Amino acid sequence: MKKLLLLTLPLILIGCAGNQLGSQSRVAILDSSSREHLTTELTMADYTAFAEKVTNKMLRSRLVQSWGRKRPKLVVGKLANNTNNDSIRMQDIYDRITETILNSGLVRLMDQSATSFDYVVRTELSETRQFGAGGAELAYYKLEFKLFKLDGEMVGQWSDVLPLGKAVRKY
Amino acid sequence: MTSKIATVLLAAYLASQLTACSTTKGANVKYKEQQTIDDTHPRATLILGSTELVDNVLITNVRLGEVGALSRAGVDVQNLTDERYTLEYKFVWRDKQGFAVDSGNMWHRFVLSPRKIKSFQSVGKTQDAYSVQFTVRFPDDLFIETDKQDQKAKPFFD
């Protein structure tokens, strides 16, 4: 009886360990509108949040209100990446912005190759970054919209800032 | 006979005390709800996403207006305590039939220092946007939650 117990106990323990490993994948499906960060870099959720907040400011400006239902032709120019990170997916930010502006129905969105349009939006992403002891980090990202008429006159400017802070790890 | 009357009187007294207590409690709860959420605007639904925030954070001063062809909403959020709160908010726009439109809105993190009032605005980015739902809650973040669970499991690291 004792021998039987001695034989079965390790098997049970191995079996339990296997179950635990198999059931803990450590991967969770997140809410698509939540804002988790592992590092002080931008995520897809941040791109969408930037597009939401900057277009909020643009759409409630006096200029855009004055358009009413005229639906002027607008070109969203290429985004300038003035951060130190060349791997930021600027096309994704561009897509979020055009999606938001297009869905508003306030403008006719034209391709960058169009020859007839009323306004151009130039967009720029920039960052400042500070590093502290023990891995502490502070990053500020700024997305800026600048709206120009055909003759080059700037008629609107709107921006939003996203600060990301990484605290010192305690253990 | 005297003891019967005494028992009836005692029972009546106890019943009246219990009723009085429950009425007071109910009145308090109702009073608190009215104090921390201003639900008077017919086109706005305001939500405090945690019972801990009730009484401590006030959502008020709802404004809805037009900007050109679109709708705009604004709300004020006030910290009624001397605590520092890290919270997040989200606007959801609905059309006249109550269906969600403009679903690309995200949660936005903000800090409310003691007694501070912050104002937030959103534009319903489709012309169907009519009413707004505004929610304030503690951040729902996988990594914050994981850290909390780790600290519970390994308190000796503190």
Same domain, B23 and B77: no
Residue A10 lies in a domain: no
Residue A27 lies in a domain: no
Q: Which chain B residue's Cα is nearest to A69? A: B69
Tokens encoding B45: 């639904």
Same domain, B57 and B111: yes
Residue A80 lies in a domain: yes
Q: What pLDDT score does A75 carry? A: 95
| B38: helix, strand or coil | coil
Same domain, B78 and B126: yes
pLDDT string in tens for chain A (171-residue length): 566 556 555 555 555 454 455 556 778 888 888 998 989 999 999 999 998 899 889 988 999 988 888 899 999 998 899 998 888 888 999 998 999 899 888 999 999 899 999 999 999 999 999 999 888 999 999 999 999 999 999 999 999 999 999 988 765
Nearest CB among A35, A96, A105 relative to B107 is that of A35
Same domain, B53 and B106: yes
CATH number, domain containing residue B94: 2.60.40.3230
Residue B156 lies in a domain: no
Residue B45 lies in a domain: yes
Same domain, B86 and B17: no
Counting the structural domains of chain A, the total is 1
A48 CB within 8 Å of a chain B CB? yes
- Chosen for mutation from A26, A37, A38, A65 (greatest number of chain B CBs closer than 10 Å) is A65
Which residues of A are less than 8 Å from B88 in CB distance?
Answer: 35
pLDDT string in tens for chain B (158-residue length): 566 777 766 666 665 555 544 444 444 544 444 567 777 888 999 999 988 999 899 999 999 999 888 999 999 999 999 999 999 999 999 999 999 997 789 999 999 999 999 999 999 988 899 999 999 999 988 887 777 777 777 765 55
Residue B157 lies in a domain: no
Same domain, B29 and B41: no
Q: How far is A92 from chain B (nearest CA, A)?
A: 14
Nearest CB among A56, A66, A105 relative to B127 is that of A105
Residues 6+ apart with CB under 8 A from A50: A93, A96, A141, A143, A160, A162
B99 CB within 8 Å of a chain A CB? no
> What is the DSSP code (8-state) at residue B81?
S
Beta-sheet pairing, B44-48 with B131-137: parallel
Reported ipTM exceeds the 0.95 cut: no
A26 CB within 8 Å of a chain B CB? no
Residue A51 lies in a domain: yes
Q: What is the 3-state secondary structure (H, E, C) of chain A?
A: CHHHHHHHHHHHHHHHHHHHHHHCCCCCCCCCCCCCCCCCCCCHHHHHHHHHHHHHHHHCCHHHHHHCCCCCEEEEEEEEEECCCCCCCHHHHHHHHHHHHHHHCCCEEECCCCCCCCEEEEEEEEEEEEECHHHCEEEEEEEEEEEEECCCCEEEEEEEEEEEEECCCCC
Q: How far is A68 from chain B (nearest CA, A)?
A: 5
Residue B153 lies in a domain: no
Structural domain boundaries enclosing B127: 37-140
Strand partners, A164: A139
Residues 6+ apart with CB under 8 A from A90: A79, A81, A125
Which residues of A are less than 8 Å from B109 in CB distance?
Answer: 35
Contact (Cβ atoms closer than 8 angstroms) between residue B107 and residue A34: yes
Same domain, B113 and B125: yes
CATH number, domain containing residue A87: 3.30.160.180
Rounded to the nearest 10 degrees, the angle between the axes of helix A90-104 and helix A44-59 is: 40
Residue B10 lies in a domain: yes
Q: What pLDDT score does B156 carry? A: 57
Which residues of A are less than 8 Å from B69 in CB distance?
Answer: 68-69, 105-106
Same domain, B31 and B83: no
Which residues of A are less than 8 Å from B102 in CB distance?
Answer: 103
Phi, psi at residue B41, to the nearest 5°? -80, 125
Q: What pLDDT score does B12 carry? A: 62
Q: How far is B149 from chain A (nearest CA, A)?
A: 13
Q: What pLDDT score does B16 carry? A: 54
A92 CB within 8 Å of a chain B CB? no
Residue B148 lies in a domain: no
Residue B151 lies in a domain: no
Residue B87 lies in a domain: yes
Residue A162 lies in a domain: yes
Same domain, B66 and B116: yes
Residue A14 lies in a domain: no
B72 CB within 8 Å of a chain A CB? yes
- A59, A99, A105: which is closest to B126 by C-alpha? A105
Residue A108 lies in a domain: yes
Same domain, B129 and B100: yes
| B138: helix, strand or coil | coil
Which residues of B are less than 8 Å from A69 in CB distance?
Answer: 69
| B58: helix, strand or coil | strand
Q: What's the rounded Cα separation, in Å, for the pair B7 and B5? A: 5
* Burial zone of A48 (CB within 10 Å; 0-12 exposed, 13-18 middle, 19+ buried): buried
Same domain, B46 and B115: yes
Counting the structural domains of chain B, the total is 2
Structural domain boundaries enclosing A122: 44-166
Residue A35 lies in a domain: no
Q: What pLDDT score does B25 carry? A: 44
Q: What pLDDT score does B24 carry? A: 46
Q: What's the rounded Cα separation, in Å, for the pair A121 and B22? A: 62
Q: What's the rounded Cα separation, in Å, for the pair B58 and B116? A: 11
- Chosen for mutation from B106, B128, B142, B146 (greatest number of chain A CBs closer than 10 Å) is B106
Contact (Cβ atoms closer than 8 angstroms) between residue B134 and residue B109: no
Contact (Cβ atoms closer than 8 angstroms) between residue A70 and residue A24: no
Q: What pLDDT score does B23 carry? A: 44
Sheet of B57-67: strands edge to edge? B57-67, B70-79, B117-124
In the A/B pair of chains, how many CB contacts fall below 8 A?
78
Q: What's the rounded Cα separation, in Å, for the pair A36 and A28? A: 12
Which residues of A are less than 8 Å from B134 in CB distance?
Answer: none
Same domain, B135 and B70: yes
